Amino acid sequence: MENIEIAAVLQNVADLLEIKGANPFRIRAYRNAAQVVAEWAAPLRKLVEEECDLTELPSIGKDMARHIEELVSRGELMLLQELSQDVPLSLVELTRLPGLGAKKARKLWDELGVETLDDLESAAERGAIATLPGFGEKTQDKILTAIDRYRKRRGRMKLGDADQHAVPLLDYLRANPEVKRVEVAGSYRRRRETVRDLDVLVIATQAEAVMGYFTSYPDIKQVESSGETRSTVVLRSGLQVDLRIVAPQSYGAALSYFTGSKEHNVKLRMRAIQRGLRLSEYGVFRGGEEEAGDPWAGEFVAGRDENEVYESLGLAWIPPELRENRGEIEAAERSELPDLITVGAIRGDLQMHSTWSDGKNTLEEMLEACVARGYEYFAITDHSKALAMTGGLDGAKLREQWTEIDEIAERHPGIEIMRGMEVDILGDGALDLEDAMLAQLDIVLISVHSRFDLPPGDQTERIIKALGHPAVNVLAHPTGRQINRRDPMQFDLDAVLQSAADSGVAVELNAHPDRLDLNDVQLMRARELGCDIVISTDAHRTTDLDLMRYGVEQARRAWLQPADVLNTLPFTELVRRLQR
């Protein structure tokens, strides 16, 4: 059982306890533990096997340690089963809907017998919800739209979560000596922000043995189908995995075929036909039309690796992130593919938090983590006071923070610390920090954390007003979306991007895999309109700094090159470019 699954079980326990009305601090203990587990770098499974003391981990005490051991050894948790005797587990899903929490879910169950999403929908449709005390017409309508949105996105897993399942699976497969090559194709390889399933390709000497090895992977919930060359399984997380064993001479063709996208493939095949070739997952062939039905008919031209497949079609190899039929084939033909940005090109991280607000590590720990990643500079950008729950800073606190920044800067001359802040954009577009303080910051990020559902016109006006403040440097997570959780705000993004470009404010690509905001398409538009772009992790702990790669991946999908991204610049140039 992987950390992310253990965390999901603990999260479910917390949700059920909350619906039951348990001690809120006990609930929080489960949530805290779930978060620690989800973010722990080493698999807890291994720690359990090595009989390490799990209570050494933060927020893990005697009980949590026992739960984790039980999950690792039995694959399920008695406590969760007991709780779901009292309260149906399906109620937890209801609380995933925005605006519907534990109390309301409980009431709907008690009063209307609502247990599932379908129950909820029919109760809302027949108007039963609006009649309950504490509920009303608006709540009922909101529930219906929330169900609709929830259904639309169900079935796609965030890329960051998929990675947590894919990496251990790949390690498992590579540990088998019969496995010669293995790679995940599909949208996972194209680094789309969410994936529906994993398409795993394998070259193996003993196909049958490897298939058996795969279908006995411990994290499998169900084997859907299993044949000589292809098996489909569902992992306990619900993620579907297709594994295909391919011949070595077809590996490149298969990798290209299963990486997609579909639109990219269609165009490649048309191109093959124009050149008197036939492209399939088996390879590139010339002739053989008379033997219809035989995939190997004709002369084998290419297929061993992707390079030779593309080459045989008169194209340069195209990075997977670009394979969306957005002009990459034409660019490859003209040898004008962009020189895509890489993690190595990033010289500093421009959004992170510390224990001064809601971060988990101290300023100095964050600094040391940036040094360890080879950065030349970083910005410390704790929250402003409007975000009370994060312990946001007011002017006086900010001044105190500067004193500490000066102290640690003196101790660590090897890296530049920028005094920054993530300042809330208030409801009327004003900023949550006095002008005199804003003027003294090295970098000012602004972002929306409240009133996400203003009418679109007002929202646009609000953000554009904030962009007009002369101290502002970066618009952080511009749409406010959280993937699979919160839709982007409704506003005129084009007008906002134009305004940012005109006033010399950079827009952020927030690299956190829960956000990825702006997304790839929006980034392309931002660049088109002349916006400067920064990629930042929004780190709340030292390990979050490694999320930079998720941002870079989306930037690559947007065709960005190092020169498009401000935090690839050396420090003095960055400072100059931030001037407005």
Task: Decide whether 102 or 279 has the Cβ nearer to DNA.
Answer: 102
Structure tokens at 98: 């925005």
- Least separation in angstroms between residue 418's CB and DNA is 23
Phi, psi of 503 (to 5 degrees): -100, 5
Query: How far is Cα 516 from Cα 552, in angstroms, rounded to an integer?
Result: 10
Task: Decide whether 140 or 259 has the Cβ nearer to DNA.
Answer: 140
Of the candidates 506, 503, 525, 123, which has an alpha carbon nearest to the alpha carbon of residue 326? 525
Rg (CA), the chain: 26
- Least separation in angstroms between residue 303's CB and DNA is 48
Q: What is the per-residue DSSP string for 497-508?
A: HHHHHHHT-EEE
Task: Decide whether 274 or 450 has the Cβ nearer to DNA.
Answer: 450
Which residues, listed in sequence order, are joined to residue 137 by a DSSP beta bridge?
none
- Least separation in angstroms between residue 254's CB and DNA is 41
Task: Decide whether 62 or 411 has the Cβ nearer to DNA.
Answer: 62
- Least separation in angstroms between residue 273's CB and DNA is 49
Structure tokens at 163: 């990675």
- Least separation in angstroms between residue 92's CB and DNA is 12
Of the candidates 433, 413, 412, which has an alpha carbon nearest to the alpha carbon of residue 424? 433
- Least separation in angstroms between residue 454's CB and DNA is 7
179-184: strand order across its sheet = 179-184, 197-204, 240-245, 230-235, 220-226
Task: Decide whether 250 or 459 has the Cβ nearer to DNA.
Answer: 459
- Least separation in angstroms between residue 22's CB and DNA is 9
Query: How far is Cα 329 from Cα 476, in angstroms, rounded to an integer?
Result: 33
- Least separation in angstroms between residue 162's CB and DNA is 22
| Helices 102-112/117-125 angle, 10° precision | 70
Tell me which DSSP letter residue 519 carries.
-
Among all chains, which residue has been given the structure tokens 């390889």? 189
- Least separation in angstroms between residue 81's CB and DNA is 14
- Least separation in angstroms between residue 400's CB and DNA is 18
- Least separation in angstroms between residue 464's CB and DNA is 19
Task: Decide whether 341 or 511 has the Cβ nearer to DNA.
Answer: 511
Task: Decide whether 323 or 477 has the Cβ nearer to DNA.
Answer: 477
Contact 558, 527 (CB under 8 A): yes
**For residues 37, 39, 42 and 43, what is the CA-based torsion angle, rounded to 10 degrees?**
50
Of the candidates 200, 267, 194, 195, which has an alpha carbon nearest to the alpha carbon of residue 232? 200
- Least separation in angstroms between residue 548's CB and DNA is 22
Rounded (5°) CA angle 412-368-389: 115
Task: Decide whether 265 or 510 has the Cβ nearer to DNA.
Answer: 510
Task: Decide whether 481 or 557 has the Cβ nearer to DNA.
Answer: 481
Of the candidates 565, 488, 545, which has an alpha carbon nearest to the alpha carbon of residue 519? 488
Task: Decide whether 390 or 473 has the Cβ nearer to DNA.
Answer: 390
Task: Decide whether 110 or 407 has the Cβ nearer to DNA.
Answer: 110
In the chain, what's the furthest Cα-to-Cα distance?
82
Query: How far is Cα 484 from Cα 154, in angstroms, rounded to an integer?
Result: 8
Q: Which amino acid is at 394?
A: D
Of the candidates 47, 34, 56, 150, which has an alpha carbon nearest to the alpha carbon of residue 94? 150
Residues at the interface with DNA (CB under 7 A)? 23, 25-26, 28-30, 32-33, 55, 57-65, 95, 97-105, 130, 133-140, 142, 358, 386-391, 427, 449-451, 453, 482, 485-486
CA 439 from centre of chain:
34
Query: How far is Cα 341 from Cα 168, in angstroms, rounded to an integer?
Result: 27
Burial class (CB in 10 A: 0-12, 13-18, 19+), 434: exposed
Of the candidates 556, 550, 509, 551, which has an alpha carbon nearest to the alpha carbon of residue 533? 509
Task: Decide whether 67 or 165 has the Cβ nearer to DNA.
Answer: 67
